[in-house]
Structure formats: C-alpha cells, structure tokens
Copies of this chain bind each other. A is one copy, B any other.
C-alpha cells in the first residue's frame, strides 16, 4: 500500500471511493485496510442473482457499480419488489443483523460489481467500533425494510399515481435533465419489474403507460422515457415539487 497516501485518503475503500455519508466513513485506517483485504469483489451479469431469498447471509454487500433489484415472493406467491439499489449502497445488512435468512432476492438489473464484506470481517469491524454500530443502527432504522420500501404499494392510490411516484423516485438515479423542465430516463427495468415495484400487473403497467403517453406526460420507448414537463409529474402525485 502506498505510504504516501494521507490518512484521509486511506479512509476510502479501494473499490468504492465512498463519501462521508456511508457507514464505512466511521472506519479507522487500520479497519479500512481490513476491509480492503478481506472483501471479495464479484461481478454479475445482468439478470444474475447476488443472493437468494432464504439463503444464509454471508455478510454485507456493497454495490460499487450497476443496479440491483430487491424483491421477494410472499406467502401468497406474489412477487413484490421493494428496493432498487445502486452504487455506493449496501444490501443484505438487514438479514445480517437479524441473524436470519435473507428475506429477499437481489437480482442484478444491469451488469454490476458487488463487494461482499464477510461476516467475520463485519464482526471484527463492529466489535471495535461503536460509531460504526451506531451508523448501521441508523441505516437500519431508516430503511423501510422488505415491506413497502417505496411507499408505492398503498391501496387507494391509483397505479397511475404510483407509477409517476416511481418515476420521481428514480429521477435522482436515472433521470437526465433536458432542455426546459424536461427529463429523460434510461431505466434498467422491465415492465414486470415496474409492476412488481408499484404492486400491479405488467399488463396494467402497459396500459397506464399508454394513458400517460396519450396525456403527453411521459413518453416511453422501451426502457427510455421522455418527460417533457417535470411539473406535471408532481401535479399528478399532488405534492408540491421540493426545492
């Protein structure tokens, strides 16, 4: 390891170049080294699974590249997606801390790179670092969990609204600002995935998309979406645009 690196730089994981907002930022330099030497980087092709529902957790995963969909099959056989995770985020920590099998399957939506921080490493890191523990406690407490993570599955809310809400939620990750207040998306989601996220059937998603297109609110070309006027999205969900 390059001795000329400052302590500040050393607090970064080789892979992720994470910022101060994530849990590892609590790590001491020696801990970062432990993290760097014991984590296992894995590549997954689109469609691959990072872990499966009911698997025994191996540790905590860091997504360093690409996007991952978290979904589960409930007792009644329904597929429900409740999270979409991208670079710089962790997955699998709920099961790790619950000391229980994975409640969800993590599927690569795009080709992606994921680092596994093995349980052994996690234990060592957590044992010596109360601040890190506190950080994970907070993450866990704020994570809506394998339930309605996106708050998109509320009854009484029409699919149309849920779909638009989804777009708004995905804007930060996949939206590219165009001229005026237009936004373009390149979603890594199949219709089925969208359906699982908003709690509907793929056919209904298709139909709802058609509606949105007829109203000129959002134009879908496959997985590419054009939103001419962002305001209209906020209008539909009935929430004022946050500054």
Give residues in A with beta carbon < 8 Å to B. 74-76, 78, 80, 93-100, 127, 130, 133, 136-138, 140-149, 151, 153-157, 161, 199-200, 237-239
Known: A76-B154, A94-B141, A155-B200. 9 other contacts (CB 8 A): A75-B151, A76-B161, A97-B138, A99-B141, A100-B142, A133-B137, A137-B137, A147-B148, A153-B153
Q: How near does chain B come to A45, taking the closest CB pair, in angstroms?
A: 30
Collect the chain B residues with CB atoms within 8 Å of residue A136's CB.
Answer: 137
The answer to whether B78 touches A157, judged by C-beta atoms less than 8 angstroms apart, is: yes
Q: Which residue of B lies closest to A144 (CB)?
A: B147
The answer to whether B78 touches A137, judged by C-beta atoms less than 8 angstroms apart, is: no
Collect the chain B residues with CB atoms within 8 Å of residue A161's CB.
Answer: 76
Name the prevailing secondary structure of the A interface residues: loop
Q: How near does chain B come to A109, taking the closest CB pair, in angstroms?
A: 22
Q: How near does chain B come to A119, taking the closest CB pair, in angstroms?
A: 13
Collect the chain B residues with CB atoms within 8 Å of residue A133's CB.
Answer: 130, 133, 137
**Which of B93, B95, B138 interacts with A98 by CB under 8 Å?**
B138
**Which of B140, B146, B147 interacts with A137 by CB under 8 Å?**
B140
Complex-state Cα separation, A200 to B154, whole angstroms = 11
In the complex with contacts A97-B140, A130-B130, A156-B76, A149-B151 CB distance below 8 A: no
Q: Which residue of B lies closest to A142 (CB)?
A: B98
**Which of B127, B145, B200 interacts with A144 by CB under 8 Å?**
B145
Collect the chain B residues with CB atoms within 8 Å of residue A149's CB.
Answer: 147
The answer to whether B199 touches A155, judged by C-beta atoms less than 8 angstroms apart, is: yes
Complex-state Cα separation, A186 to B96, whole angstroms = 37
A–B complex contacts, Cβ < 8 Å, 14 sampled: A76-B154, A76-B161, A97-B137, A98-B142, A99-B141, A100-B141, A100-B142, A144-B145, A144-B146, A144-B147, A145-B145, A147-B149, A148-B148, A155-B155
The answer to whether A141 touches B97, judged by C-beta atoms less than 8 angstroms apart, is: yes
Complex-state Cα separation, A127 to B98, whole angstroms = 21
In the complex with contacts A137-B137, A138-B99, A80-B154 CB distance below 8 A: yes
Complex-state Cα separation, A74 to B161, whole angstroms = 14
Q: Which residue of B lies closest to A78 (CB)?
A: B156
